[in-house]
Amino acid sequence: MTTSARERVAGFWDNHISEWLSGADPTPSPISAWFESYKGVDPGKPTRDGFPEPYHGDLLGREHTPRMVVLGLNPGEYRPQFQSRDGIFAAEIKECGSYSRWQTTCPYDRPPWTDVLGGNRYYRARLQFTRNWLQDPGADHRDLLIFECYPWHSKSITAPLRPPPEVIDEFVWQPIAELPVEEVFAFGRPWDDLAQALGLPVTDKLGVGGSRYGSAVASRAVRAYGLPSGKRLIVEWHSGSAGPPSAKETGLLRDALIGATSDVPDKAPLRPRTAAPSDGTRTPISAG
């Protein structure tokens, strides 16, 4: 029986986190190289005291196939009350039977997380972007899947993230290739640096440093990169925020990207988007 990339990745992390919850801390290849690829210090030092969180959402589409994929940097600040071996979430994962099943429950936007830490602005901003981009106000947590560039917690990012390209291909690009999406989104300037470090080809430039597309935000920059699957990575950033654009700005971006062609010489044109089937200190979404 052939195993899909999503099944392979979900199974790997289910096994890894199960072993971690049992008291082990395995570092098989390529986990060891992935962990060592980031050299953050002080508040940016990564911890292995909390379980790694490589993705958030229903990776396997058990309840509903995700219609939006967003990339984060890492899961944010370690919260022992929730993410330690004797934390609240550890107990929930054991009760659910696996990390992949637990992640279908939207743990960072429901009690007890919201009772203790309030609403998760990071997650809710990306869920609202999902609704705006899909033009579906009824889209919910089942539609949104978030992958982290670096799965371990730290309070901030204090050094470049340079994950091995082959690891990102295996654990991020390959499972994304199986999903019914044409665009993958990343917000914040660090993802532009990451895309270049991963060797992704630029296919279009909009806003600052590229073609104007009607944005009212003078500092907004958008870069489109080609993924190995033929999908597009859309990186967006602007001064003062690493979050998604507003509903109005999302509409402008959507209009600019659908059916757009590249202004970058010797690059393939952007493909029209096809509709997907229905079927500092940061707070974790952890935070991404």
Distant-in-sequence, close-in-space partners of 274: CB < 8 Å, separation ≥ 6: 182
Angle between helices 121-134 and 247-257 (to 10 degrees): 50
- What DSSP element (H or E) covers 190? helix 189-197
pLDDT at 29 over 60: yes
pTM: 0.90
CA distance 158 to 173: 25
Summarize pLDDT for 188-200 with one digit per residue, the tens.
Answer: 999 999 999 999 9
pLDDT at 278 over 80: no
- The answer to whether the beta carbons of residues 245 and 236 sit under 8 Å apart is yes
pLDDT confidence of residue 3: 87
- pLDDT level of residue 266 (50, 70, 90 thresholds): very low
- Which range has the worst mean pLDDT, 49-58, 181-190, 256-265, 274-283? 274-283
- pLDDT level of residue 262 (50, 70, 90 thresholds): very low
- pLDDT level of residue 142 (50, 70, 90 thresholds): very high
pLDDT confidence of residue 285: 63
